[in-house]
Homo-oligomer: A and B are copies of this chain.
Amino acid sequence: MTDLSPLVPRAAALVAAARAAGVRIATAESCTGGLIAALLTEVPGSSDVVDRGFVTYSNGAKTDLVGVPADLIAAHGAVSEPVARAMAEGALARSDAHVAVSVTGIAGPGGGSAEKPVGLVHFALAATGRPTRHVERRFGDLGRAGVRLATVETAMRLLEESLRD
């Protein structure tokens, strides 16, 4: 199982910083399947900060829950910059949060290709009144739990940076 223990102190600091800033957070997760929300809610009192999370595992869920257009998925694939951006912006729009982070990637062991190998993850960070940020990472084949851990860590960094900006 993906071991998020090393990230709990960072989650506690992030929740405290968000609370102090009056910022609420939403998540839209594909390959992490809820790990980011689970990490944030490990922190006592996180209900002040965590509004909701969307685990958009299937393509239908990406469309239904956070409004990713089906033709965007058809054109670019679920693991792509446009879909990551649409997930984050959809999560922001369909929540009471001020910041939303999204992840969509290939955790493996199956599902990789030459163009989109295991370990490829697209991230986006949408925040009220700011341009959406996109980040692409190619972690390599760290194993399913390794890719998921690296993905949660990068998502945490994006949230941390958004609170510092």
Contacts of A54 in B (CB 8 A): 52-55, 65
Interface residue SS majority, chain A: mixed
| Residue A96 at the chain B interface, CB threshold 8 Å | yes
Report yes or no: B57 in contact with A55, Cβ–Cβ below 8 A. Answer: no
Interface string of A1-37 (1 = CB under 8 A from B): 1111101100000000000000000010101111111
Report yes or no: B33 in contact with A144, Cβ–Cβ below 8 A. Answer: no
Report yes or no: B57 in contact with A52, Cβ–Cβ below 8 A. Answer: yes
Report yes or no: A33 in contact with B44, Cβ–Cβ below 8 A. Answer: no
| Residue A90 at the chain B interface, CB threshold 8 Å | no
Q: How many residues of A contact B (CB 8 A)?
A: 47
Cβ contact of A47, chosen from B50, B51, B57, B145, cutoff 8 A = B57
Known contacts: A51-B58, A52-B65, A54-B54. The answer to whether A39 contacts B1 by CB under 8 A is yes
Taken together as a complex, chains A and B put the C-alpha atoms of A105 and B29 apart, in Å, by 23
Report yes or no: B58 in contact with A55, Cβ–Cβ below 8 A. Answer: no
Contacts of A46 in B (CB 8 A): 33, 57
